[in-house]
Chain A
Amino acid sequence: FGIMAGKVKWVTDIEKSVLINNFEKRGWIQVAENEDWNFYWMSVQTIRNVFSVETGYRLSDDQIVNHFPNHYELTRKDLMVKNIKRYRKELEKEGSPLAEKDENGKYIYLDFVPVTFMLPADYNLFVEEFRKNPSSTWIMKPCGKAQGKGIFLINKLSQIKKWSRDSKTSSFVSQSSKEAYVISLYINNPLLIGGKKFDLRLYVLVSTYRPLRCYMYKLGFCRFCTVKYTPSTSELDNMFVHLTNVAIQKHGDDYNHIHGGKWTVSNLRLYLESTRGKEVTNKLFDEIHWIIVQSLKAVAPVMNNDKHCFECYGYDIIIDDKLKPWLIEVNASPSLTSSTANDRILKYNLINDTLNIAVPNGEIPDCKWNKSPPKEVLGNYEVLYDEEMAQSDGPDRDMRSRSGQSTGVKGNRARDSGKPVLTTWK
């Protein structure tokens, strides 16, 4: 038997030190993929194989993986939008107050994704929308790519002629091909700080979808563009102005390797409270929590809630100059590369806290456990939404309170829980 018997055996196909150091510090043992493993931190390509119908992989009770089998329902841009649209329609059909619309027909509480269409399938619908605002700018994003690859902006129909031709021959098959794009209304009035555009990267851990239990990492960050933001049309091609992905910014002339163009979320909070006031800042952060939870609720019904799975998502959010947050996309494999020393520390701690929640006590897991870790192990995570607890409070809890408020979601605002002024929902 020996000492080794009780140790978690791990595998990964992502060679990143922030991962490996975390496994080693727990005294876990590295094994190969074809051996008996307990914990596999896999890339999204691998998860496809593990759960694909052909391979017929069957995970045993003491095996845990870091992705849900069909995570792409949330993490593919087109499917995310599709699921959210479906979710909203369902709520509307039920007559839920959440689906209330304003006089312009816009959802009051669920309008958090910029208007989006799939191309080539929805090309005609898109054209109709485009013509309502011909001076608007739209952003084209390939469905299956990451790191800002293949993204471009358009402000003229001629720039996407290609998809007009393809729409005539569209079918379900071509939609899932690499040529599939989403086109979204570009947010051309982002909130600027120091004249610069930024987006928010927030980490959200989901341990189960049904019941939904999710955690938000308190140490998210803002990624700044290195160049001054300008909505002028001549700069549409300058990706450094518009895209905030670090992968793109890294190659700009002004990219600074020491700070990497990032701010902590608490910095952002300090700045907004100081320049805009506390109420609007609190409202903004509440709304951010809200849209994350709603996006998860939207995909929960279609998610394969495999008990061997957990997932840590990277949420990308943009705030506009009216302090409204917009969900841009959700990443299944947030980058574990570190651009600065601080970054490395942050990601190391992120993985550490994630493992503490997903693999209780660092021991050989039993996927049948109740997935309810004690508060002490959360580290820098805080409970964002716990459906079980929410339901035990009463069926209309959603209507009354902020997401996860009773479980102290606000971090340094935990003491605010229960204050009626926070509920801007109703």
Chain B
Amino acid sequence: AMLDPDSGLSLTIARIVQRLKGSSLHSQLERQARVSLHKPEIKLESLKEDIKDFLKTSGWEKKLQNAVYSELNVFPSPCHPAAPPEHMKEPLAYMRKAQGSWEKRILKSLNSMCTELGIPLAQKRPVSEQKELLNKWNEMGTDEPDLSLFRPVYAPKDFLEVLMNLRNPNYENGEQPSFRNHLGLIQVPLKVKDIPELKEDFSELGLNIGQLGIDDSAQVPPEFFENEHVRVGQKVLAEQDSAAAQQYVRQGCPTALRADLWALILNISNQPEDILYYEQLKSNVIQHDLLVDSLIYKDVKLTASNDDYYFVFEDYLYQVLLCFSRDTSVLEHFSYSSATPPKSYIRGKVGMEEYAVFYPPNVYSVESINSFILSVAPLCFLYHEPSKLYQIFREMYVRFFFRLHSISSHPSGIVSLCLLFETLLQTHLPQLFYHLREIGAQPLRISFKWMVRAFSGYLATDQLLLLWDRILGYNSLEILAVLAAAVFAFRAVNLMEVTSLAAAEAVLADLSTLKVMPLLQIFLFATVT
């Protein structure tokens, strides 16, 4: 049933009010209002208006605006007041079911690993070990625990296989006859955008509009675009306006302003209570040993330690990921994700709720651990204060990256991204698509790993950051699918000549020299369709 706009709006307002009530911002606003009573400009006759004016001029109204804006960004609009909570998570039943089975499978695999190795999912650390860990908190990278017995919970390709096998049980009724022509790996009829729609959505990437990543290259005089863009960025920061910042970064962030702009958009201010929260997580890590920690350890060693750019930050990665795996506040986002948090219990306390340990979804799966690692690592180029780095990562995760590891129908979910990629390729580069399919090199098999990691570990860091500017600016991951298609378009000539999957992989093995903004611009705005 369609929701009329008014009740939709009041539902949204009610929900936001509910969420902000009792937040620290709320108590700060109250305190500010009370403090203002002592000020001479506040008059009893016009108390309400005067306080409102005061909050406006002192910048507190803006903080409230930013918080509301943040809530709007993160949470979807309600579907119907009478809809059950699962529908908020994921409206399509078959998607919910698929995600549920996937989680069960992972948990089963994890449990059997525990049994095999005789290690519990979670246990309290002996005091001596706690002391040791605390001492080496800043250099966990120098540790060399024996990780040889830990094998991946599942192979990266397994997740793609699950997605490939998704079917809409209602599909046979032929609701979408055009979909029968889809020759890619994803076989569910989700709606994805076409190029005209993408051009509209991503209009700020158009050929006539200045971009960082294109119009700041050495050959372009900075008076042309860059200087003014920097000036505007500084103004946006001075006014601390989240919404303006989000609009601004669509054209890219100047490197010196990026850290602050992202924090503004994500509404991260690193308050004392945030630092305290991080410290609490840290002490949780010290006190309890989770099986997942070893998997994280192993994967950081394999991934980031060998990366040309990220190896320097290895120690930060442990700190952030170990804390993250214990962060139950992440569970909040489950209300809008299709994933359900799996529970496990501290050894010896099975069934006792106070000893239950919740995991953020899929934190124990190798593919998503790699993705975590690679999604934290670029942030180390921007933030070097641990609690701020942590919060930025957590916010990026709950807004965007979790969608890459769970099965849902959301337009930024991995299923939609895969379908969008395949559709773009099949529609606009049909010859290439058919050729690759013929030789057993379905394009998605190659591009899947790029998208599921938001291209981290594949692009040069400066290019990756320019790409993520746009993820934040457009509040969507669709650009990952567009870039993936643009990369194929760019290498089309070489790809047409390959005759095997391995050869195709080789052509696309090295993306480190690519410039993402020209690729995106050309694909969206300059390709003859």
Contact = CB atoms under 8 A, between A and B. Distances in A.
Is the A/B pair a real complex? yes
Interface of A: 193-196, 224, 227-228, 253-254, 256, 258-259, 261-263, 266-267, 270-271, 273-275, 277-278, 342, 411-416
B312 A224 contact: yes
B255 A267 contact: no
Contact of B312 (A263, A274, A342, A416): A263
Given A411-B218, A415-B218, A270 B311 contact: no
B138, B255, B315, B461: which has the most chain A beta carbons within 10 Å?
Answer: B255
Contact of A274 (B222, B258, B307, B308): B258
Given A195-B315, A275-B382, 16 more contacts: A193-B312, A194-B312, A194-B314, A254-B141, A259-B306, A261-B311, A266-B462, A267-B461, A270-B461, A271-B381, A274-B255, A278-B255, A411-B218, A412-B218, A415-B218, A415-B220
A205 B306 CA distance: 32
Contact of A194 (B144, B218, B222, B380): B380
A277 B259 CA distance: 10
B311 A259 contact: yes
Contact of B222 (A227, A256, A415): A415
Interface string B376-393: 000011111000000000
B259 A274 contact: yes
9 contacts: A195-B139, A253-B142, A256-B305, A256-B311, A262-B308, A273-B255, A274-B258, A412-B218, A414-B218
9 nearest A-B pairs in the assembled complex, by CB-CB distance: A194-B312, A273-B255, A228-B139, A278-B256, A258-B306, A277-B256, A194-B313, A412-B218, A274-B382
A184 to B, nearest CB: 26
A273 B256 contact: yes
Contacts of B307: 259
Given A259-B306, A270-B462, A415-B220, A228 B138 contact: yes
Interface in B106-139: 138-139
B482 to A, nearest CB: 24
B76 interface: no
Nearest to B308: A259
Nearest to B255: A273
Interface of B: 138-139, 141-142, 144, 217-222, 254-256, 258-259, 305-309, 311-316, 380-384, 461-462, 465
A105 to B, nearest CB: 35
Contacts of B382: 274-275
Given A270-B462, A271-B381, A275-B259, A342 B308 contact: yes
A256 B306 contact: yes
B142 A270 contact: no
A194 to B, nearest CB: 4
Contacts of A196: 312
B308 A275 contact: no
A267 B312 CA distance: 11
A358 to B, nearest CB: 26
A342 B258 CA distance: 29
Nearest to A281: B256
Contacts of A267: 309, 461
A45 to B, nearest CB: 35
Nearest to A419: B222
A413 B256 CA distance: 15
A16 B254 CA distance: 42
A159 B380 CA distance: 40
Contacts of B254: 278
Nearest to A271: B381
Given A256-B306, A263-B312, A195 B258 contact: no
A270 B380 CA distance: 11
Contacts of A256: 305-306, 311
Contacts of B383: 275
A389 B449 CA distance: 52
A227 B142 contact: yes
Contact of B381 (A258, A262, A274, A416): A274
Contacts of B313: 194
Contacts of A266: 462
Given A227-B142, A263-B309, A274-B381, A415 B221 contact: yes
B343 to A, nearest CB: 35
Nearest to B461: A270
A253 B305 CA distance: 14
A195 B138 contact: yes
Contacts of A270: 255, 381, 461-462, 465
B254 to A, nearest CB: 7
Nearest to B217: A412
A401 to B, nearest CB: 18
B309 A275 contact: no
A227 B315 CA distance: 11
B20 to A, nearest CB: 31
Interface centre among A194, A342, A416 (most CB of B within 10 A): A194
A254 B306 CA distance: 12
Contacts of A228: 138-139, 142, 315
A411 B309 CA distance: 21
Contacts of A224: 311-312
Nearest to A196: B312
Contacts of B461: 267, 270
A387 to B, nearest CB: 25
Contacts of A263: 308-309, 312
Nearest to A411: B218
Contacts of A195: 138-139, 315
Nearest to A226: B142
Nearest to A408: B218
A5 to B, nearest CB: 40
Nearest to A194: B312
Contacts of A278: 254-256
A415 B461 CA distance: 23
B256 A194 contact: no
Nearest to A263: B312
Most buried by B among A193, A274, A415: A274
A275 to B, nearest CB: 6
A132 to B, nearest CB: 33
A17 to B, nearest CB: 22
A143 B418 CA distance: 61
B360 to A, nearest CB: 25
B485 to A, nearest CB: 27
B189 to A, nearest CB: 42
A153 B139 CA distance: 23
Contacts of B384: 275
A274 B384 CA distance: 10
A254 B144 CA distance: 9
Contacts of B138: 195, 228
